[in-house]
């Protein structure tokens, strides 16, 4: 790292840049059309009366160049866990150690908040990320299948159930 990097807690005024980074990640993951979030929603969800996520940013002289976004998860078996939604480092800064700084800060936050552990997902084709997590000794679990329903699906299902 040739530049000084500062890791700090995210602030409301960071959200426009945060959303840019989210869109950059979506493009990298070949799914830019999937991003429906907005700065207004992120402000409401992260800075309203009941925040549901938090984040750290990495800054250098060029501004915010990285992000670690997390929220709390509760396991019936293990209790409070930190769920790392994304670590994002802008493309021009990848490989410079910023991801490690963000990951380390997020791990420290999990410890500070008395979590029983930390969880996240990684795409099976994202070898750089997989190799990064392996350096930490992370358990990569291929036993579980991810499931989800989108809002319109839920509404449709509920509509057919409630008829």
Pick the catalytic residue from 74, 83, 133, 136.
133
Active site residue 83: no
Report how far Cα 76 is from the mean position of its chain's Cα atoms.
22
Rounded to whole angstroms, the Cα distance separating 27 from 24 reads: 5
Residue indicated by tokens 């410890």: 111
Q: By the 8 A CB rule, do 67 and 88 touch?
A: yes
SS3 call for 55: strand
Contacts from 96-100 at CB under 8 Å and sequence distance 24+?
96/1, 96/2, 97/1, 97/5, 98/1, 98/5, 98/58, 98/65, 98/66, 99/66, 99/132, 100/132
**159 — alpha (psi -120 to 50), left (phi > 0) or beta?**
alpha
Q: Which residues are catalytic?
A: 133
């Amino acid at each position: 790292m040739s530049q000084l990097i500062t890791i700090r807690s995210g602030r409301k005024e960071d959200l426009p840049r945060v959303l840019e980074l989210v869109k950059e990640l979506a493009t990298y993951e070949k799914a830019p059309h999937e991003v429906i979030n907005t700065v207004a929603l992120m402000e409401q969800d992260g800075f309203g009366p009941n925040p549901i996520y938090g984040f750290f940013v990495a800054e250098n002289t060029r501004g915010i160049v990285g992000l670690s976004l997390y929220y709390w998860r509760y396991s019936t078996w293990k209790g409070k866990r930190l769920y790392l939604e994304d670590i994002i480092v802008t493309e021009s800064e990848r490989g410079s150690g910023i991801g490690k700084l963000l990951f380390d800060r997020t791990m420290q936050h999990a410890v500070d908040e008395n979590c029983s552990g930390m969880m996240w997902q990684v795409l099976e084709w994202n070898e750089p990320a997989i190799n990064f997590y392996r350096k930490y000794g992370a358990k990569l679990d291929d036993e579980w299948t991810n499931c989800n329903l989108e809002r319109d699906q839920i509404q449709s299902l509920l509509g057919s159930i409630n008829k």
